[in-house]
Structure 1
């Protein structure tokens, strides 16, 4: 199945582009949370953040940072919400970061899913130990 974002990048599908270079392309989300909601995508077809090569992380996220500053300033926003889904809830399997202008009392409440707590400190530590072990394997 063809990639929607690759078609936008190639100019085969319409978009309201706000930025592009050799690393990233940014365009307005066609179903924005608020006006000025931008998607920043990798120019190359990379499906998830974990697929992004290490040497590309800095260059890509420097573009996300620049777009975030522009969105806040252009939309006279007090701040922004910057997020990326990784597989689950990723409507297009092409790495993209949402940059959404935010203001106090704009109606967007925290995260879009229910928040919970760890059962106790022991459960939290067990999860932390598991994460540290996998990070050590990845570094290994």
Structure 2
């Protein structure tokens, strides 16, 4: 009986949603062909640290199907992402001791990897700005605009440090 069922499936086309893009950086992470600092994973999605973080804790949440547009994401994946965003955001705020976050999902515009993904980025603290954004920039005479601050933060991005990544993953996981 089992062989009959298997044989009936052999010539069937693979559903489009099950296909992965071998060139996609996120598909490579999903199938462990590329390394990532994994924070959370279930049968529908994966969460990991961004390798070029805007700030410590910058996390990506990615569905395990290759879909380029959030507007085309199947409902079960969208629901799973919504639940994971809330859960991981809560853990991240505790791990970095900062409740201020940006949660972003781009579609085509500003989407570097054409695979649906959400960014969860801890917001900057005005009391502890990155090097190059010193507190002197915040006095009334030289106050930064939000655009200036974003531009300078982007310019200061650096590769994720392996030791820092391991420690951060453990702190976030402790709160999941």
Q: Normalising TM by the smaller chain, what interval?
A: 0.7 to 0.9
Pick the structure with greater CA Rg.
Answer: 2
Structure 1 equivalent of residue 81 of structure 2: 60
1:80 to 95, 101, 108: 101
Say if 2:91 is the partner of 1:70: yes
- CA contact under 8 A between 1:22 and 1:43: conserved in structure 2? yes
Deviation of residue 54 (structure 1)? Answer: 2.5
Q: 1:29 aligns with which of 50, 53, 59?
A: 50
Please identify which structure carries the higher strand content. Answer: 1
Gaps of 5+ in 1: 114-140
Q: Taking structure 1 as the reference length, what is the TM-score of the superposition?
A: 0.73
Could you say which structure has the greater relative contact order, defined with CA pairs below 8 angstroms and 6 or more residues apart? Answer: 2
Question: TM-score when scaled to structure 2?
Answer: 0.59
Partner of 2:23: helix, strand, or coil? coil
RMSD of aligned alpha carbons:
2.2
Q: Structure 1 residue 42 and structure 2 residue 63: aligned?
A: yes
Answer 1 or 2: which has greater helix percent: 2
Structural mapping, 1:1-140, within 5 Å: 2-105=23-126, 106=129, 109=146
